[in-house]
Structure 1
Amino acid sequence: MANTWLPPVEYIATLPRATAYACLYFTDTAGRPFQLRASDRTARWQWPGGNMDPGETPWETAVRECREETGMTFTGEPRLLGTHFVTDRGEDWPANHIGFIFDGGELTDEQIAAVVLDPGEHSEYRLRTLDEWEREMEPAEFARLAEIDRARRTGSTVYVETGPAAD
């Protein structure tokens, strides 16, 4: 077998492309998931979070994005609830997308009342039961919410995959 070793820069160029995001999953004290409505053309419901910046860890990204999007400074410890893998979506997003969803815990009524949204990113926030969210969300997006909620309630960690149409 011929020597096929490549310098790291050349080898990395042969690998699939991937981007990463991280977020925090919150509920209120009644267990209702907290979500933000994107103000972009998708108007999707999502958790406080976003894409990683160069040099950031997933945890640093989740905490930074939460502060930027809601005004909340999260000081808890990192507890991973799940990872999310989205396949390459072609021209729309020509890379795989990997997400890290961390447990943000329960928000008090005072914390919820103090949320300040960045209008460039989100138009509103809501707290709803899972049954209510299921009626509001696309099936793949709701399935991810339900899996993360289950991980939170059971103390487990989940892995979720979605195809090009989700996320």
Structure 2
Amino acid sequence: MSRVLPPTEYYASLPKSITGAGAILHDEHGRFLLVRPNYRSDTWEIPGGGLEHGEYPWQAVCREVKEELDLELTPGRLLALDWVPPQPDGRPALANFLFDGGYITQDDADKRLSLQTDELSEWRLAGPEQWNKLMAPHMARRLHACADALRTKSTAYLHHGWDPANPAH
């Protein structure tokens, strides 16, 4: 017979995961705003980042976009939730929430965005044909799913960028 663990021991025994939140800012041509982090010069990302202790994903995306781009954001609906399993390099599992960050034009971005240069080196509006070249494969798949969610007014549930009901891998 197994013994019942006290709550603190039980919670300490559970798997660990981290949570992130990102914003999909988009234009009339289906391009999404991408940012290039200083710490990863080989790939682009969307604005966003990890949740702080006690923070909700919606709050985190607002905070991160303000910190990274000096842009006040009121996110729209959830476009995708992507579950990334633990990685071989030791990263724990990740739940990433992607919100509709709203409409932005090139002119708006030129006038309104101010990069946090400690973390980001540049930004650009990039279309679906560029995502596979600029981003890690799972992140590009995630953006394609967000484009579909915007078009169909749905929400995507993903496993490392793949639709688990229709995996293409």
Gaps of 5+ in 1: none
Matched residue, 1:54: 53
TM-score relative to the length of structure 2: 0.85
When residues 18 and 101 of structure 1 are mapped into structure 2, their CA distance, relative to the original with a 3 A threshold, is same
1:105 is aligned, of 82, 102, 107, to 102
When residues 98 and 71 of structure 1 are mapped into structure 2, their CA distance, relative to the original with a 3 A threshold, is same
Which string of whole-angstrom CA distances, capped at 9 and with x for unpartnered residues, describes residues 46-86 of structure 1?
Answer: 1111000011101000000000001100134x411111111
When residues 10 and 153 of structure 1 are mapped into structure 2, their CA distance, relative to the original with a 3 A threshold, is same
Gaps of 5+ in 2: 162-169
For 1:27 and 1:39, the matched residues in 2 are separated by 23
Contact 1:20 1:98 in 2 (8 A): yes
TM-score relative to the length of structure 1: 0.86
Matched residue, 2:8: 9
For 2:11 and 2:82, the matched residues in 1 are separated by 22
CA offset at residue 134 of structure 1?
2.7
* Alignment root-mean-square deviation, CA: 1.9
When residues 118 and 92 of structure 1 are mapped into structure 2, their CA distance, relative to the original with a 3 A threshold, is farther
Contact 2:30 2:128 in 1 (8 A): no
Which string of whole-angstrom CA distances, capped at 9 and with x for unpartnered residues, describes residues 6-30 of structure 1?
Answer: 2221111121110111111111232
CA offset at residue 110 of structure 1?
4.4
SS in 1 for 2:97: strand
SS in 1 for 2:118: coil
For 2:37 and 2:48, the matched residues in 1 are separated by 11
Contact 2:30 2:147 in 1 (8 A): no
When residues 4 and 81 of structure 1 are mapped into structure 2, their CA distance, relative to the original with a 3 A threshold, is farther
SS in 2 for 1:123: strand
For 1:136 and 1:49, the matched residues in 2 are separated by 17
The farther-off stretch of 148-157 and 59-68 is 148-157
When residues 69 and 56 of structure 1 are mapped into structure 2, their CA distance, relative to the original with a 3 A threshold, is same
What is the identity, as a one-letter code, of the residue corresponding to 1:58?
A: P
Equivalent residues in 2 for 1:1-167 (5 A)?
A: 2=1, 4-76=3-75, 78-93=76-91, 95-113=92-110, 114-162=112-160
Contact 2:74 2:101 in 1 (8 A): no
The farther-off stretch of 55-64 and 83-92 is 83-92
For 1:124 and 1:75, the matched residues in 2 are separated by 23
The farther-off stretch of 62-71 and 107-116 is 107-116
SS in 2 for 1:89: coil
